[in-house]
Amino acid sequence: MNFWLAPLHGITNYHFRNCLARHTQGISTAITPFLPVQSHERLNVKKWNDILPENNTCFFTIPQLIGNAPSHFVDTIVELQQFGYQHFNWNIGCPAQQVVRKQRGCGLMPFPEKVEEVVEKVLTHTHCGFSVKMRLGMYSIEESYQIIQRLNNYPLDNIIVHPRLGIQQYEGIPDHHYFHQVMELSKNQVIYSGDIFDGSSYQKLRQHFPKLETVLLGRGILRNIFLAEELTNEITMDENRYRRFSDFYNDLSITLLSYRSKNGALSQMKELWHYFYVFFSLTPKELQKILRINSWQEFDDYIQELIRKSLTIN
């Protein structure tokens, strides 16, 4: 099985990706959080630190794009190819209201002809590998059937499916039944994304889809940064995991402080602790206590103590 790092906007930026790569194993490829496509005149990709090749030496990196104008995709991809990228992913799964309202992300799923238009234009005007990341639909599963059928006419790198509807956001459980239907219907390779949090959710996925070759890990790898290697080696947990987490956390802290103010670094770190707290088996109440801390130093002292306790108990 190949494990790829899922894109999480505001979280899996290159600083995080590089820290993850320095301290854990098992991830081969990362898809970046989305970047908006632009027309040639408005494009300044040099500002896109997240995809500059020098910032992406650890994982094989696939830039993710968002937008809906076919010519903007061509302009952006041609520019990014000069940085050496040959594979791109298109986000038609983001269900955030401000994105959907502009008929981007999942807001495009009810319009299969528009999806096809972009794919057709990209494949005829650029020589790149192109893939799509989608949900089952914005409002209805029918939407993905329509899109998959149209995309069957094009040789895509793959289609990544997060098997929920946009209107569900992250509610409910990923629908394996409809994921199966999509897999059967698609002539392109299908990749899975959604709620792989531990060995048990992963085993269930493997039982349901023995032919699956690639899985994206998102919130699961934030909850347990060693998830990919634990799943690869079929181990429940590495006995040195708290020592290694400590090294990762210290590296991440130094990294965050190298480019942000203490307040900025604190708010970024708090974002991450919405997930990391699971690794320490903290309760939501204990998490709230951490999130109320308002100074970097106090926060760091608290976390160092938490890690120290975990090291002595385990």
Ligand X SMILES: Cc1cc2nc3c(=O)[nH]c(=O)nc-3n(C[C@H](O)[C@H](O)[C@H](O)COP(=O)(O)O)c2cc1C
SS3 88: strand
Q: Which is nearer to ligand X, 11 or 212 (CB)?
A: 11
Per CB under 6 A, the list member of 3, 4, 5, 6 interacting with ligand X is: 6
Using CB under 6 A as the binding criterion, the count of chain residues that bind ligand X stands at 21
Does 194 engage in binding with ligand X (CB under 6 A)?
A: yes
End-to-end CA distance of the chain: 30
- Alpha helices by DSSP H, listed for the chain, are 14-23, 70-81, 97-100, 112-125, 142-151, 176-185, 199-208, 219-223, 227-233, 241-259, 262-276, 284-291, 296-313
Per CB under 6 A, the list member of 4, 7, 18, 119 interacting with ligand X is: 7
Binding region for ligand X (CB under 6 A) out of 114-122, 205-213, 215-223, 241-249: 215-223
Sign of CA dihedral 192, 195, 198, 202: negative
Dihedral through CA 35, CA 29, CA 226, CA 228, nearest 10? 120
CA angle 25, 5, 51 (to 5 degrees): 105
Does 104 engage in binding with ligand X (CB under 6 A)?
A: no
| CA–CA separation, 283 and 277 (whole Å) | 8
Q: Which is nearer to ligand X, 49 or 124 (CB)?
A: 49
Neighbour-count burial for 114-129, b at 16+ CB within 10 Å, e otherwise: bbbbbbebbbeebebb
SS3 314: coil
**Smallest distance from ligand X to CB 52, Å:** 18
Q: Which is nearer to ligand X, 118 or 306 (CB)?
A: 118
Q: Which of residues 75-94 bind ligand X (CB under 6 A)?
A: 91, 93-94
**Smallest distance from ligand X to CB 65, Å:** 10
Does 274 engage in binding with ligand X (CB under 6 A)?
A: no
| DSSP 8-state symbol, 108 | G
Binding track, positions 111-150, relative to ligand X; x by CB under 6 A: ----------------------x-----------------
Per CB under 6 A, the list member of 217, 228, 231, 269 interacting with ligand X is: 217
Report the interface residues with ligand X, using CB under 6 A.
6-9, 11, 33-34, 64, 91, 93-94, 133, 162, 193-196, 217-220
